[in-house]
C-alpha cells in the first residue's frame, strides 16, 4: 500500500464518518426578547465555552433553524442547561501573560452576555466562559446580578498575581453557620468550587438549590484487543553495501494483541477521550538488492512492545453504537531486532524512535473494531549510517472489560 493512497483513503473514511454521525436534539424551549415562548427540540452540544447561537427544530424530523443571541432572552433544556441574557459588569481586559495589566482592579464595562444559569436557590449562580476568559455572577432574592470579583494582573517584576476579592465577598455577603474564613480560602474561582459553596449556603438557609446541569464525571475504561498487522519496510543500507540503497522487504501479516486504558472526558457529550495502550508487534521480511551486479539477500526481523498515547473522538450513531477517529504518538520498547543476509545490522543499531498513528473504528456496546495506519518511521538509531523505515497497517477487534 503506497503512502499517498493510504492517507487519501483514510481521509475519505474520516470525512464519511463525520457525515454519518448522528446529531441529537433534546426537548426544551426558548423565550425571545418580546416574551414569546417556543417549545422545540434544541441541539445540545454540551459546550465548554458559552455558545454564540443555538440550532433547534420545531419537531424531531423538522427543519433545522438557527437561534441567535440578539433575539434571545432564555433557552432551556431540562436537566441539561439554562441560559439567560443579561447586561452585567464584565472585565474584558487581555488575559495573555505578556499583556497583563498592572492594576489589580478589574476594568468592568456593562456588557450584554449570555450567562449559564448554574444554580437557583437562596442565591442564584451564573457563569460566562469564552476561551481564556471566565466570569461568575450571583443574584440574591429580588436582587440584581453582581460579579464575583477576580482578576489576573502583574507587577514590575512581571510576576503573575491574582485578585481574589471574591473570597471576601463570599465571607461577608453570605454569613451562615459553617462558612468560615478557612473554608472560603479553599474555594477556587471555578465552577465546581463555587457550585459547592452556594449549594451549601442554600442548605444552611433551609432551601434546596436547583442545579440545571447534571454533575458530570469522566469515565475510565479498560479494553483488551487482538488482531493483525500488515507490515513492510524499506531499508537504506548506505555505504555498508557498496552504494546499494532502498531494499524493500516483503509485506507480511503478523499477530498483535494488547490492552488499552481510556479516559472519557466529561464534556461535549462524552465525545472525547485520551488513551494509552500496550501491544505486541513483530515483523519478519526478506528482500533482494544488486551489489556490483550481484544479487544479494537481506532479511529484517523486528519485535517490540508498542505504546500508543493519543486522543479519540466519538460520533454517536445511537445509544449503543458509534464511530470514532483516533490519533496517537507511538513509542516502541524494543524486544529484539536484527538485519541479516549479505548485510548485517546489529541489535545495538536499532533505536527507540517515535512514530504517528491514525485510526478509524466502530464500537457497538462493549465490542469494537479499529483500522489503524502507521506511516513510515525509522527503526535505526539516529547515529547509524543506515535507515530502515517500517510501515504498518493494523486491524484489531476489542472488548471493553471495564
pLDDT per residue over 139-170, tens digit each?
998 889 999 999 999 888 888 899 999 999 99
Distance separating the N- and C-terminal Cα atoms of the chain: 36
d(CA 260, CA 329): 14
Please report, for the chain, the start and end positions of each structural domain, with discontinuous segments joined by +.
20-211, 217-400
Give the pLDDT score at 215.
62
Q: Is 253 helix (H, G, I), strand (E, B) or coil?
A: strand
Among residues 282, 294, 222, 273, the alpha carbon closest in space to that of 253 is found at 282
Give the pLDDT score at 7.
46
Among residues 160, 181, 157, 161, the alpha carbon closest in space to that of 169 is found at 181
C-alpha cell at 127: 457563569
Are 234 and 223 in contact by the 8 Å Cβ rule? The answer is no
d(CA 191, CA 188): 9
For domain 217-400, the CATH class is mainly beta
d(CA 289, CA 157): 65
Give the pLDDT score at 4.
41
Position 376 pLDDT exceeds 50: yes
Are 74 and 63 in contact by the 8 Å Cβ rule? The answer is no
Where residue 35 falls (left for φ over 0; alpha for ψ -120 to 50; beta otherwise) is left
Which position has the higher pLDDT, 217 or 202? 202
d(CA 184, CA 169): 10
pTM of the model: 0.65
d(CA 116, CA 83): 5
Q: Is 243 helix (H, G, I), strand (E, B) or coil?
A: coil
Which of the 8 DSSP states describes residue 51?
Answer: P
C-alpha cell at 279: 501491544
Position 401 pLDDT exceeds 90: yes
Residues 94-126: pLDDT tens digits?
A: 777 777 888 888 989 999 999 999 999 889 999
Query: What value does the mean pLDDT of the chain take?
Result: 86
Among residues 158, 174, 178, the alpha carbon closest in space to that of 166 is found at 174
What does residue 358 show for φ and ψ, rounded to 5 degrees?
-125, 135
Give the pLDDT score at 245.
60
Position 6 pLDDT exceeds 80: no
Over residues 357-369, mean pLDDT: 94
d(CA 44, CA 54): 9
Pairing relationship of beta strands 72-77 and 65-68 according to DSSP bridges: unpaired
Which of the 8 DSSP states describes residue 238?
Answer: G
Position 22 pLDDT exceeds 80: no
C-alpha cell at 367: 465490542
Residues 80-98: pLDDT tens digits?
A: 899 999 999 999 887 777 7
Amino acid at each position: 500500500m503506497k503512502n499517498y493512497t493510504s492517507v487519501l483513503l483514510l481521509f475519505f473514511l474520516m470525512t464519511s464518518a463525520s457525515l454519518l454521525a448522528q446529531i441529537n436534539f433534546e426537548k426544551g424551549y426558548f423565550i425571545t426578547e418580546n416574551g414569546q415562548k417556543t417549545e422545540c427540540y434544541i441541539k445540545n452540544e454540551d459546550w465548554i465555552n458559552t455558545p454564540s447561537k443555538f440550532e433547534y427544530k420545531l419537531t424531531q424530523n423538522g427543519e433545522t433553524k438557527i437561534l441567535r443571541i440578539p433575539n434571545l432572552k432564555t433557552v432551556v433544556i431540562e436537566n441539561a442547561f439554562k441560559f439567560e441574557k443579561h447586561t452585567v459588569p464584565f472585565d474584558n481586559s487581555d488575559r495573555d501573560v505578556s499583556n497583563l495589566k498592572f492594576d489589580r482592579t478589574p476594568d468592568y464595562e456593562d456588557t450584554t452576555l449570555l450567562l449559564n444559569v448554574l444554580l437557583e436557590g437562596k442565591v442564584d449562580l451564573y457563569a460566562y466562559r469564552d476561551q481564556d476568559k471566565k466570569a461568575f455572577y450571583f443574584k440574591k432574592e429580588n436582587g440584581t446580578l453582581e460579579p464575583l470579583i477576580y482578576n489576573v494582573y502583574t507587577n514590575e517584576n512581571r510576576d503573575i498575581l491574582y485578585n481574589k476579592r471574591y473570597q471576601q465577598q463570599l465571607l461577608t455577603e453570605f454569613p451562615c453557620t459553617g462558612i468560615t474564613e478557612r473554608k472560603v480560602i479553599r474555594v477556587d474561582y471555578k465552577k465546581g468550587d463555587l457550585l459547592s459553596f452556594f449549594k451549601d449556603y442554600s442548605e444552611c438557609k433551609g432551601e434546596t438549590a436547583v442545579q440545571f446541569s447534571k454533575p458530570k464525571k469522566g469515565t475510565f475504561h479498560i479494553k483488551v484487543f487482538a488482531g493483525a498487522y500488515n507490515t513492510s519496510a524499506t531499508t537504506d543500507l548506505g555505504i555498508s553495501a557498496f552504494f546499494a540503497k532502498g531494499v524493500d522487504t516483503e509485506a507480511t501479516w503478523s499477530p498483535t494483541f494488547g490492552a488499552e486504558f481510556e479516559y472519557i472526558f466529561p464534556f461535549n457529550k462524552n465525545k472525547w477521550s485520551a488513551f494509552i495502550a500496550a501491544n505486541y508487534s513483530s515483523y519478519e521480511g526478506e528482500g533482494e538488492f544488486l551489489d556490483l551486479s550481484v544479487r544479494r539477500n537481506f532479511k529484517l526481523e523486528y519485535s517490540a512492545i508498542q505504546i500508543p498515547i493519543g486522543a479519540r473522538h466519538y460520533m454517536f450513531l445511537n445509544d449503543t453504537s458509534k464511530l470514532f477517529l483516533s490519533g496517537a504518538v507511538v513509542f516502541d520498547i524494543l524486544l529484539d531486532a536484527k538485519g541479516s543476509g549479505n548485510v548485517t545490522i546489529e541489535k545495538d543499531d536499532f533505536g527507540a524512535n517515535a512514530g504517528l498513528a491514525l485510526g478509524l473504528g466502530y464500537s457497538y456496546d462493549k465490542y469494537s473494531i479499529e483500522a489503524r495506519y502507521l506511516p513510515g518511521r525509522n527503526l535505526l538509531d539516529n547515529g547509524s549510517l543506515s535507515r530502515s523505515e517500517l510501515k504498518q497497517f493494523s486491524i484489531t477487534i476489542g472488548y471493553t472489560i471495564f
